[in-house]
Structure 1
Amino acid sequence: MSNAAPVLPQPPVTAPATDDSLGIDRAFVLQMARMPLFALLWLGAAIASHQIWAALWPEGLNAGPLVVISFGMILAAFIDGWALKVPNWITFPLVLSGWALGALHDFNVHVDAGTGGFALAVLGTMLGFVLLLPMLAIGGVGAGDVKMQMGFGAWAGAYFGVGATTADAGGAALHGMGVVFWAFCFGAIVGGAFGLVIILIRRQFGQNAGIVREIMSDLQMFGTGQVSAASKRAHDRRSRWTKLPYGIPLCVGFLLYLGYMLILVG
């Protein structure tokens, strides 16, 4: 009598799943598909804030939409300080909603007090990108910080226009592109002060001085068209420097500039 163990049937061999993604990042595509919806929420917030401001303070400049974009900048800065990145679900919708505001102004749909059109909203977006492009190329800021500045630029172009928005309210004529530029300058000053405080706290003066010299050299290379070389040098240097959430200085600079021009200067 045989003591051989019975042969158990083998489970069927399943073929590996076929990759039908065609190289497309579906998660990213789904994320991008939600951006117009988020943009509509920002646009709706701008319209609602305009109505609320008009009901509470009917005289003077209706700054309701500025409250909304300020909230967006503060939210982006908070997340940047916490996670060291600014998520796309904030930045892209801000850009799209700024363009939408400008387009509505072009069609004489008076949803707020803004006077800038679609072209100025796009121009503000481009200016926000160009101002931070050198720092992005050498790794001084992240892509999220740049997109954050682009979103602010879109709203500034759509709201301030060529200066009629504030001039019609009896204040100084603030051109949207000027607002983007000077808010960036204020942010750069705040960022420099922020970095100086970090240097004083860490007390690594020699190392930081060397990094500053390298950054200045990278910017010079960028200005002479050696973008790839400057980017490579910056990438090699990343392990030696402390990453800072530059979205915070951008936000603070933006708020300081608006407060200075709209409250102190009028």
Structure 2
Amino acid sequence: MAAWAFWSCLPFLAAALLTDIRSMRIPNWITLPLLVAGLIVQGMMNGRQGFLISICGAGTGFLLLLIMHLLGAVGAGDVKLFAGIGAWTGALFTLQVTVYSVLIGAVIGWIIVFSRRETGRRIRGIISRSAGFLMFRDHRLLRRRSDDLLKFPFMLAVVPGFICAYLYL
């Protein structure tokens, strides 16, 4: 991944961070230009090979975050944002950003849980749902009520994850 691709993504990520903190949403006016610009610029700078790398990166980011979205971990804006990141940076870098973001997100989540003193209740809930699922008693136990989910702007983990992935390279 070229340094120019990293720096080109940062303004979009900054805008996504601000809107995610403010409204817990990442609007299409951020994600779609990120995706389209990544495809066009990669195609123009690196020809057909760059365009194919861009398509593969967009697909990787989209599919990885789509799985997380279907599990209820992230919103649809995050899915589209990672497709855009992949369009600029390629599949491998997008995979690295995803891993770092999930790890940082887990740390943020635990900090929130410990600061709210919800640890015991959450751990009991996880054990209860897991035991019910493993005993094949009720698969609906794994589905959580929306008010039971721990929510925070995922961009708080994505921006540091993006920077960590870049620094790792």
TM-score w.r.t. the length of structure 1 is 0.55
Aligned match of 1:149: 82
Please state which structure has a larger fraction of its residues in helix.
2
Q: Structure 2 residue aligned with 1:104, among 44, 50, 53?
A: 44
Give the structure 2 partner of residue 198 of structure 1. Answer: 112
C-alpha change, 1:215 and 1:251, in structure 2 (3 Å) is farther
Q: Which residue of 2 aligns with 1:260?
A: 168
What count of residue pairs does the alignment treat as equivalent? 163
Q: How big is each residue's C-alpha offset from its partner over 1:219-264, in whole Å with a ceiling of 9 and x where there is no partner? A: x9xxxxxxxx77x964x52122232111221221011110232xxx
Distance in 1, matches of 2:128 and 2:66, equals 17
After TM superposition, the runs of 4+ consecutive aligned structure 1 residues lying more than 3 A away are 105-108, 210-217
Structure 1: gaps spanning 5 or more residues: 1-60, 109-115, 158-176, 221-228, 262-266
Partner of 1:120: 53
Equivalent residue number for residue 132 of structure 1? 65
Which residues of structure 2 form unaligned runs of 5+? none
Instruction: State, as a whole percentage, how many aligned pairs show the same letter.
Output: 28
Q: 1:146 to 1:216 in 2, by over 3 A?
A: farther
Larger RCO (CA within 8 A; separation ≥ 6):
2
Q: CA deviation at 1:211?
A: 4.9
- Residue of structure 2 in register with 1:88 after alignment: 28
Give the SS at the match of 2:145: helix
Query: Which of the pair has more CA radius of gyration?
Result: 1
CA distance in structure 2 between the partners assigned to 1:104 and 1:80 by the alignment: 31
Alpha-carbon distance between aligned partners in 2 of 1:142 and 1:97, rounded to the nearest angstrom: 22
Indicate if the aligned counterparts of 1:78 and 1:248 stay in contact, CA closer than 8 A: no
Q: 1:87 to 1:100 in 2, by over 3 A?
A: same
Pairs within 5 Å for 1:226-245: 234=143, 236-245=144-153
1:161-217: CA deviations, max 9, x gaps? xxxxxxxxxxxxxxxx22111111111110010001001111111332245458879
90-99 or 240-249: which moved more?
240-249
Q: Residue 28 of structure 2 aligns to which amino acid in structure 1?
A: N
| Equivalent AA in structure 2 for residue 237 of structure 1 | R
1:62 offset after TM fit, Å? 6.9
